[in-house]
């Protein structure tokens, strides 16, 4: 293919830029509840995110990538025009990256999934033909805008109510926190391990039966619970600390749990959202390497997942603090127990969805969960101005991605075509 090397270099550059945007905007969402509830510092959040995002992307990132890449476009319509697909994928990466940069500067937690979906739909509808887009696929994604925040909001509401019932509204909250928090820790480990196993670690060479999956997940849950117990035993409680805020010592126990849920959320996010940055990049590489053949499926080379992981971590370190402030402190006041309910609800929703291959938005899921926790304390606990701005930025994301993508598509077509 003419310009093949140039296309691959551009795809890597734009893919890295897009992954950087995912890190700056989306990973910041994933860590915001932990930082906002003061369970972890910004530095600790970055270390946790770096390790677990990377692990999620690398170990469990394959499934969703296929949905983004081949699910949106009718391959039969584009096989004759590999050049157009290459321009379009490059334009999509650049468009989504630029939009994420704009949104992050403003501190808006937007959806990287919808940025890239909007971009791909935009270039395909205009550059290839309206019928090249699988509109049924697009409508399931639009549905997920409502389904994901509502689901995670309900789970978060229920979780926080269980915490209130079992711990806060009892005679001895501290004693009950030490009793029940390990159970919540087990739950986090079990759910995340189970879904990761079901999503398939086949490309790592693990093939287990359903029974074995459950057994391994149980063991992982137990191991994480034991580690949590050791940490809780080591905590020093100061009776005087409870004077200002009645539950200071109880929240201390919850911050151990928050560390576990933050790691789970980062893993879930990496597995779901690395696809946004590396999907189009993998498509370009596969078209160039096969001499212009638009394949239905192509293997995901390990170096591409690696590139995505590096970009994500870099974005978080360099620019993640803006969105962390919006989600972590501005929507509603978070404490470790509230942050735990929000994060576990979001992680559960994300891992279940990425197991089914539905590209939902981590952002929508997490904001929905934070709203759920806020509502459990009454509507007055929510900052409605921030909530309105966030909803507006969500609505703008798809068209913004599409318009930018069409613009870049014609520029690239002009240069290379």
Q: What is the pLDDT of residues 371-393, one digit of tens each?
A: 888 888 777 777 888 888 888 88
Token pair, residue 131, equals 């019928």
Name the phi and psi angles at 190, rounded to 5: -65, -50
Q: What confidence tens digit (pLDDT) does each residue in 15-35 have?
A: 999 999 988 888 777 777 788
- 159 Cβ contact partners less than 8 Å away, ≥ 6 residues apart: 340, 341, 344, 345
In this prediction, residue 99 carries a pLDDT of: 95
pLDDT of residue 8 exceeding 80:
yes
Specify burial of residue 357 (Cβ count, 10 A radius: 0-12, 13-18, 19+): middle
Token pair, residue 384, equals 């409605």
Given a contact cutoff of 8 angstroms between Cβ atoms, the answer to whether 334 and 254 are in contact is: no
Given a contact cutoff of 8 angstroms between Cβ atoms, the answer to whether 112 and 22 are in contact is: yes
In this prediction, residue 182 carries a pLDDT of: 92
At 362, the pLDDT band (50, 70, 90 cuts) reads confident
In this prediction, residue 360 carries a pLDDT of: 75
Report how far residue 162's alpha carbon sits from residue 167's, in angstroms, rounded to the nearest whole number.
8
Return the closest-CA partner of residue 100 out of 83, 91, 112. Answer: 112
In this prediction, residue 370 carries a pLDDT of: 85
Report how far residue 273's alpha carbon sits from residue 99's, in angstroms, rounded to the nearest whole number.
16
Which region holds residue 206: left if phi is over 0, alpha if psi is between -120 and 50, else beta?
A: beta
Report how far residue 149's alpha carbon sits from residue 144's, in angstroms, rounded to the nearest whole number.
8
Give the residue, 186 or 36, on which the prediction is more confident.
186
Q: What confidence tens digit (pLDDT) does each residue in 127-148 have?
A: 888 888 888 888 887 787 788 8
- 216 Cβ contact partners less than 8 Å away, ≥ 6 residues apart: 193, 197, 208
Q: What confidence tens digit (pLDDT) does each residue in 49-94 have?
A: 888 888 887 776 665 555 555 567 776 777 777 888 889 999 999 9
Report how far residue 99's alpha carbon sits from residue 112's, in angstroms, rounded to the nearest whole number.
9
Which region holds residue 377: left if phi is over 0, alpha if psi is between -120 and 50, else beta?
A: alpha
In this prediction, residue 215 carries a pLDDT of: 92
| Helix, strand, or coil (residue 112) | helix
Considering only CA atoms, give the Rg of the chain: 22
Task: Map 181-229 to HEC letters.
Answer: HHHHHHHHHHHHHHHHHHHCCHHHCCCCCHHHHHHHHHHHHHHHHHHHH
């Amino acid at each position: 293919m003419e310009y093949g090397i140039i296309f691959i270099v551009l795809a890597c550059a734009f893919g890295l830029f897009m992954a950087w945007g995912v890190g700056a905007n989306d990973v910041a969402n994933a860590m915001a509840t932990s930082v906002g509830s003061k369970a972890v510092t910004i530095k600790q959040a970055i270390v946790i995110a770096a390790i677990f995002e990377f692990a999620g992307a690398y170990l469990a990132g394959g499934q969703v990538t296929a949905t983004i890449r081949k699910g949106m476009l009718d391959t039969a319509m584009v096989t004759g025009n590999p050049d157009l697909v290459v321009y379009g994928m490059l334009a999509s990466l650049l468009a989504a990256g630029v939009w994420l940069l704009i949104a992050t500067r403003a501190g808006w937690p937007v959806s990287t999934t919808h940025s890239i979906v909007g971009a791909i739909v935009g270039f395909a509808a205009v550059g290839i033909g309206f019928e090249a887009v699988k509109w049924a696929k697009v409508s399931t994604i639009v549905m997920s805008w409502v389904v994901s925040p509502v689901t995670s909001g309900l789970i978060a509401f229920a979780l926080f109510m269980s915490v209130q019932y079992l711990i806060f509204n009892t005679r001895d909250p501290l004693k009950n926190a030490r009793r029940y928090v390990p159970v919540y820790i087990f739950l986090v480990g079990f759910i995340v391990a189970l879904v990761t196993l079901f999503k398939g670690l086949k490309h790592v060479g693990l093939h287990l039966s359903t029974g074995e999956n459950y057994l391994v997940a149980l063991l992982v849950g137990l191991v994480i619970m034991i580690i949590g117990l050791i940490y809780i035993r080591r905590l020093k409680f100061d009776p005087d600390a409870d004077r200002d805020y009645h539950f200071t010592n109880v929240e201390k126990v919850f911050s151990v749990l928050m560390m576990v849920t933050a790691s789970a959320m980062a893993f879930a996010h990496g597995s779901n959202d690395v696809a946004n940055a590396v999907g189009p990049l993998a498509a370009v590489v596969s078209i160039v390497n096969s001499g212009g053949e638009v394949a239905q499926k192509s293997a995901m080379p390990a170096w591409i997942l690696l590139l995505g992981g590096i970009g994500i971590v870099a974005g978080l370190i360099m620019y993640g603090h803006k969105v962390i402030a919006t989600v972590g402190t501005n929507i509603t006041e978070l404490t470790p127990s509230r942050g735990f309910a929000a994060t576990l609800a979001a992680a559960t929703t994300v891992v279940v969805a990425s197991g089914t291959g539905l590209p939902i938005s981590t952002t929508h899921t997490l904001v929905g969960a934070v709203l759920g926790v806020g509502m459990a304390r009454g509507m007055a606990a929510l900052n409605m101005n921030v909530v309105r701005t966030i909803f507006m930025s969500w609505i703008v994301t798809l068209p913004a991605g599409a318009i930018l993508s069409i613009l870049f598509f014609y520029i690239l077509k002009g240069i290379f075509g």
